A and B are shown apart, each in its own frame.
Chain A
Amino acid sequence: GQNIDQPTEMTATEGAIVQINCTYQTSGFNGLFWYQQHAGEAPTFLSYNVLDGLEEKGRFSSFLSRSKGYSYLLLKELQMKDSASYLCAVRDTGGFKTIFGAGTRLFVKA
């Protein structure tokens, strides 16, 4: 079966660093994505990992361990506008179907 787990909510302070974890168990694996979604809007792409290791992209970094079925999204120098839901998603092999986790709602406080 398909199962993607991530914390429901997190709170962090402006300027701080926050790490959002994601574990997955899927029948196939062809890449892991992180998307950001503000309330009432469509998701936007943040990062992609297909090989083990860390991918850095400005204030955002994402890590993947395929053997552990584990990923995290690291957000540095938090800003108020980073308050949003962060969705962990796994793409299946063949057909490129992408399955999403329930999302982590991040609240950034001053």
Chain B
Amino acid sequence: DQQVKQNSPSLSVQEGRISILNCDYTNSMFDYFLWYKKYPAEGPTFLISISSIKDKNEDGRFTVFLNKSAKHLSLHIVPSQPGDSAVYFCAASKTGTASKLTFGTGTRLQVML
């Protein structure tokens, strides 16, 4: 049972344009959401997070939007750069199980020159 879903396995975007990565979740108990980025042969690195009490969190070129009613979040990267090419994982956690993250299957982003 996939509780966190990233339905697009891959995405290609031109350099300088916006990248939008999507994530859906099914468990209404999730109250904290994170995005991780992973380069080949490296471990995932934390990118940005959002609490369920917010609907937007911004950090430089990265913005995460949360729509609780739709159980949907998205990561916007503006402007996209070639170095952003990586696999992006969405993750979620529940109050009381803050030690455990539930990850999506990832979206491979390719930013083209």
Pairing of A with B:
no
